[in-house]
Each structure stands twice: as structure tokens, then as C-alpha cells.
Structure 1
Amino acid sequence: MSTMQALVLNRHQGPLELTELNRPEPGPGEVLVRIAASGLNPLDMKIRAGEAAHAKHPLPLVLGIDMAGIVEAVGAGVDAFKPGDAVYGMTGGVGGIQGTLAQYAAVDAALLAHKPANLSMRSAAALPLAFITSYAGIVDRARLQAERTVLVQGGAGGVGHVSVQLARALGASVFATASERDHDYIRSLGATPIDYRAANVEQYVAAHTGGAGFDLVVDTVGGPSLDASFAAVRHFGHVVSALGWGTHALAPLSFREASYSGVFTLYPLLTGQHRAHHGEMLREATRLAEAGALTPRIDARRFALRDTERAYEALADGTARGKIVVDVDAGIDTALAG
């Protein structure tokens, strides 16, 4: 097969057009993956609308950052993977790199890890960006230790629910803001839910920390949530966020002599630097998932590649209960299950 089907965006805010493209070939250090599933992210919507200049993804483009699939072929110098391996990763969709809403992609092998054996392709495709963002903040920047207190802002969201599970796996006592409908889910992850609508930051800091604040605050929402994070952290504590847009007063952070770290998850894809660390982080995700400590939350609705417009509508309208995943080739999961 020399061609493949892919969804191509030819103009910002335009339709996703099912298009026949040449199937890529893996170059040195690359792996050709037959894509089973593609996980959608809010960033995809911003890129589609032309509102994400930092993603540097020129038109025409193929969207899709996360994926899971089967190795079809390997390029020169690749010895970590072989044809037939089930893999997953955050592999494209930015920086002019072909995205994952396509039947195949040739990707840098350093970005990949073997798929958790106990997760379907759909579940694995939901993890890469969320886990890498969480790990970069919680482990690489904050160096979270056991028995610390952690507040996750937006604990039921895509990055949030993974951050809750990662912090719990590291032995922390975890609290998470969420709407009331998600409180039972937050409890199921072993965390304490906080209704951010019913209590302001001063009230929930007083209720859960005696006014001292949390050792680490993980902001996954941005805007006012990041401002609240600066007010919720303890003296000498740490705040991490991947959404540091806008104008923020740093005085609350300074008064607590606390520190702040930003996370820019796209950096390795955009620059080619530190890509091997993405693979390392996903190998840790595989270990945690196979140990039962990490389970992605997946929206129950199913979308084929031709239905991706409806998948984007579900992502945009706020009805999703978990990650939206597109079944690029649902037959792969069926074959593995059989």
C-alpha cells in the first residue's frame, strides 16, 4: 500500500477533509506506525482555529498529537521496536509534523513506548500528552516526595485526572477541585474533592490545610485558577502550570516565598531536543498502568475517522466525560483482544 487516508485541514476553521496521501516511509531513527486510535486534546481545537501560534503548525496540516498503534516498519538505527509491537506516544500534530488523524505516521522512535499490556489502544491513545505534562510538572519540576499535600486544579480534566493518579502513586495526599458531578470520580481515584463553586480559595485552604496551604499546587486550568493556585500554596511551596497565559499578580506567591514552574510539553516536538525523555516518561506511564495505578478516563462515545467532526463537536461543547478518542482503525484493538 503506497497511499493512506488522512484528515487534512486546508484553512483555519475549515472542514477536516478525508484525503488520500502518500504513505510515509520511516527514515533513520523513525518508526512507521499503523495508527489504531488518536486522542483529541483542547490544543487541537486551538490549532484548527489558528489560535495556537506557539504550536507552529503550518497549513495544510494533519491534526492529532496523541496516538496508539502497531509498528509496521522501522528505519535504520532503530532497535528498541520491531514490526508488530504495540506502541503509543505524543508524536506529531505540531511544528509541521504530520498528526495522528491518519492511517499511518512515520515518527521519531525516541517519542514512543510499548503500550501498557492491560490497556486497549483507545485507552493508551488518551494518555501521552496528559501524562507527559503531569510528569514534567510533578516529577521533573516539583520533585514531589511522599506524604506531601497536593492540590490539583481541575482534577477531573484530561491532565488533571492523570495528575491526581500520578501524585497518589508517589505517595502524596491529594486534593482536587472539580464540579460536584465529578466528586465521586475524584474519590474513586483516592483524592479529596473540593467544590470550587461552593468555597473560595481562602475557605478551602482553611478547611483542608488549617490555613497553611498545599505543598504543591498543580494548575491544569489557567487564568483565574492559576491566580487561585498562587493563593493556595504553602510557605516555600511550589506551583506548576502548563497554562501560564494572561496577566497574573505574583505578589501572593512572593508573600509565601513559593516558587513557580511552567511546563511547555511541545518543546521536544518543536525543537527536536530532549525527545528521549518523552519516551522515558511514557515507559513510566506503562509501568504505572500495568501496576493498576494509572487508568485514563475515556468518553464512552465512539468516533471513526470519518466522524471526527462530531468528535470535535463533543470536545468543544463540554459534554465529554473523559478523553475523546477517534478510532482510526478499530480492527487493531479487536484483533489484539482476540
Structure 2
Amino acid sequence: MKAMIVNEFGDSSVFTSTEIAKPEIKPGHVLVRVAASSVNTVDMMIRQMGPDLPLSPPAPAVLGMDFAGIIEAVGEGVTDFALGDEVYGCAGGLADLQGTLAEYMLADAKLIANKPKNLSMREAAALPLVAITAYEGLKRAQVKEGQNVLVHGGSGGVGHIALQLARYFGANVFSTGGGDAQTALIEELGATSINYKTETVADYVQKHTQGAGFDVIFDSVGGANLLNSFEAAALNGQIATTVSLLELDLSGAHFKGLSLHVVFMLIPMLHDHKREVHGQILTEVAGIIEAGHLRPVLDDLTFSLEEVGKAHDRLASGQGLGKVVIDI
């Protein structure tokens, strides 16, 4: 089968088109004919850092985590899927798991779900990693109906899904963005936009919560921005973040009694730990999508399998709006 592999790690030029053996079916797995894959920040980190990132596969490797496709073979013990099923998931591209940038991939049946019927393959491929991340973060932060929820980075990959899921769970949702296109998308998706470049944290906390702070904050920006989340949170508030690889003064969190939830959705794939939870989340997300409460936003540009390097460059440029998707 055709695949894009990396023989060494580095810039976006390291991808090479080659022929490799099609995976053989094994128990508990399905063989998927991949139709589309999307690019996530972690894909770029693996490509750049290689062995410096503990979750990276050894070279030569097939990268790519998210996919949508059609099942072509079903392994022993798999009862929830059949030949011809259209599925989506996040099931490869790290450690010893072959990625999605190939015509076929082997996927653990616990990590996948039936594709939302009202989405194209490209749209479905944009969802798994970001949808699982957003869902897990909001659930761990115990989001409830009627709460004031702030999503940092609401026009980004994870953020635009978290924003919509928080609305679906019944919250009053507010979201930060940094420009006209970003704030317009946030409003279009049903949240109140906050331009972090023109409004201070104190200003928007006073404006939208009368100074009390937000009950739940989903911080998809993270890093040093966590200090803004601490400032914006209500007393005993909940904060979920996807980016916490830094040293940080937690004094602000201490004096407000905040709970901080670090979401690292790759744990089930890396450690074979509760993988079935990912399949369950994707099944629930598919239902939410089919009921009309959630939709992925895709970047305007399209890329073929051979153009994966350009797709990585597009995401890295920050010029796109929505998920970057590759047609396989």
C-alpha cells in the first residue's frame, strides 16, 4: 500500500512517499481503508522532535492520528463493527501504532466509533482527537447547566468543539479570540466572544460575571495563559487545560481554591488503558452531531496524501481557520 513515512525527524520536508506492506488483521482490531486524516499540533511535535518526545514512534514511521474510513476486515472478537462500516477514530501515529497517512491502517476496535451519518469523511476525520479532548476536559471540570463557562481559544481545533459541547451541556459560554475572523467564528458557533487583545481579564470578568468569575474554564491555550485562567475563575472554580508543560506559580489557584484538570487524551493509546472510553465518547459525540448540536470547522485549503508536508505547514502558519484535513 502507499504511505507517507518519515525516515528521520525534522521539518515538513521529511515525509517520503513509499510502498509498505498492508497491515494484517489481528484479534480485537479492524482493518480500515483510510479516506481522510486531519493534522493536530501533536502530529507536528512528533515530526519535529522524534525521540526527544517520549510518545514518538521510532523511524521509519507512519504518522497521523485522526482518521475516517471504511472497514475492510474485522478481527476475531470484534462484534460491534462489520465489513463496510464507515468509522472514525484516533488510533495510531505514536509509539508502536501505525498512523493514518497510508491507504490502510489497523485500528483497535475500542478506539473507534461509527462515523456520524450527516458528516463527510473529511469532516469526520477532523474530529476524534479534539472531540475526545474537549469532552473529557468539560466532564472532568463537572460542567453543569446554567454555569458560566469560558473557553480560551474558541476558534482553535479543540476550542471550537469545547465551545459547542459546553453549550450542548447547557452552559452560558464565553470565548476568547484574537481577531475579527476568530471572534466571528466564536459568535457563529453560539458563544459570546471576547477579544483578549483589547479586553483585560479584569474587564471581561466584570462585564460578563459581575466580577464573580467563571465557574468552569476550558483553557486550550494553556502554558502561561493559565495565569489568566486563574484570574478569570470564580472561587472554587474548575479549570481544564490541554497545555501544562511549564513551571508555574500556583498561588493564584491556591487562594481561590481552584481545581486544575490536565487533559492528556493520548493516555489510552499509549498505555492501553481504558481504550473503550474513547469509543464510547466518539459514539456519544456522533449522536450529538446527528442531532444538530455540534459541527467541525474545516480549513478552506485541501491537501492530498503526497502533500502532507504542506498540510503541516498550513497548521503551523496559524493562517488557517478550522482543522486542516488530508485526503488519503
* TM over 0.5, shorter chain: yes
1:156 aligns with 2:155: yes
- Residues in 2 aligned to 1:327 and 1:5: alpha-carbon distance in whole angstroms: 13
- Residues in 1 aligned to 2:227 and 2:111: alpha-carbon distance in whole angstroms: 33
User: What is the match of residue 273 of structure 1?
Assistant: 273
- Residues in 2 aligned to 1:292 and 1:37: alpha-carbon distance in whole angstroms: 22
- Three-state SS of the structure 1 residue aligned to 2:149 is strand
User: What is the match of residue 190 of structure 1?
Assistant: 190
- Three-state SS of the structure 1 residue aligned to 2:320 is coil
Partner amino acid for 2:4?
Answer: L
User: What is the match of residue 262 of structure 1?
Assistant: 262
Residues 90-119 of structure 1: CA deviation (Å, up to 9, x unaligned): 011111211101100011000010000000
Residues 10-35 of structure 1: CA deviation (Å, up to 9, x unaligned): 11115100110000012000000000
Quote how far apart the aligned CAs of 1:57 are.
2.0
User: What is the match of residue 50 of structure 1?
Assistant: 49
TM-score (normalizing by structure 2): 0.97
Once the two structures are overlaid, the 10-residue window that deviates more, 179-188 or 160-169, is 179-188
- Residues in 2 aligned to 1:312 and 1:294: alpha-carbon distance in whole angstroms: 25
User: What is the match of residue 127 of structure 1?
Assistant: 127
- Three-state SS of the structure 2 residue aligned to 1:265 is coil
Residues 71-100 of structure 1: CA deviation (Å, up to 9, x unaligned): 000000011000100000001111121110
Quote how far apart the aligned CAs of 1:188 are.
1.2
Partner amino acid for 1:197?
Answer: K
User: What is the match of residue 115 of structure 2?
Assistant: 115
User: What is the match of residue 174 of structure 2?
Assistant: 175
1:19 aligns with 2:18: yes
Residues 254-297 of structure 1: CA deviation (Å, up to 9, x unaligned): 11111111111110000011100000000011001101111000
- Residues in 2 aligned to 1:252 and 1:199: alpha-carbon distance in whole angstroms: 20
Quote how far apart the aligned CAs of 1:224 are.
2.2
1:7 aligns with 2:15: no
Quote how far apart the aligned CAs of 1:9 are.
0.4
Quote how far apart the aligned CAs of 1:313 are.
1.3
- Three-state SS of the structure 2 residue aligned to 1:22 is coil
User: What is the match of residue 237 of structure 2?
Assistant: 237
Quote how far apart the aligned CAs of 1:249 are.
1.2
User: What is the match of residue 304 of structure 1?
Assistant: 304
- Residues in 1 aligned to 2:57 and 2:146: alpha-carbon distance in whole angstroms: 41
- Residues in 2 aligned to 1:203 and 1:144: alpha-carbon distance in whole angstroms: 24
- Residues in 2 aligned to 1:46 and 1:180: alpha-carbon distance in whole angstroms: 26
- Residues in 2 aligned to 1:310 and 1:84: alpha-carbon distance in whole angstroms: 31
Please list every run of 5 or more consecutive structure 1 residues that lacks an aligned counterpart in the other structure: 329-338
Please list every run of 5 or more consecutive structure 2 residues that lacks an aligned counterpart in the other structure: none
Partner amino acid for 2:226?
Answer: L
Partner amino acid for 2:27?
Answer: P
Map 1:189-208; keep pairs closer than 5 Å: 189-208=189-208
TM-score (normalizing by structure 1): 0.94
- Residues in 2 aligned to 1:67 and 1:247: alpha-carbon distance in whole angstroms: 34
- Three-state SS of the structure 1 residue aligned to 2:97 is coil
Quote how far apart the aligned CAs of 1:307 are.
1.4
Identity of aligned residues (%): 45
Contact 1:308 1:326 (C-alpha < 8 Å) held by counterparts: yes
Quote how far apart the aligned CAs of 1:202 are.
1.6
Number of residue pairs matched by the alignment = 324
Contact 1:61 1:96 (C-alpha < 8 Å) held by counterparts: no
Partner amino acid for 1:12?
Answer: F
- Residues in 2 aligned to 1:193 and 1:180: alpha-carbon distance in whole angstroms: 10
Partner amino acid for 1:5?
Answer: K
Quote how far apart the aligned CAs of 1:46 are.
0.7
**Runs of 4+ off more than 6 Å:** none
- Residues in 1 aligned to 2:5 and 2:56: alpha-carbon distance in whole angstroms: 16
Residues 140-165 of structure 1: CA deviation (Å, up to 9, x unaligned): x1121100110000000000000000
Partner amino acid for 1:235?
Answer: L
Once the two structures are overlaid, the 10-residue window that deviates more, 148-157 or 312-321, is 312-321
- Three-state SS of the structure 1 residue aligned to 2:135 is helix
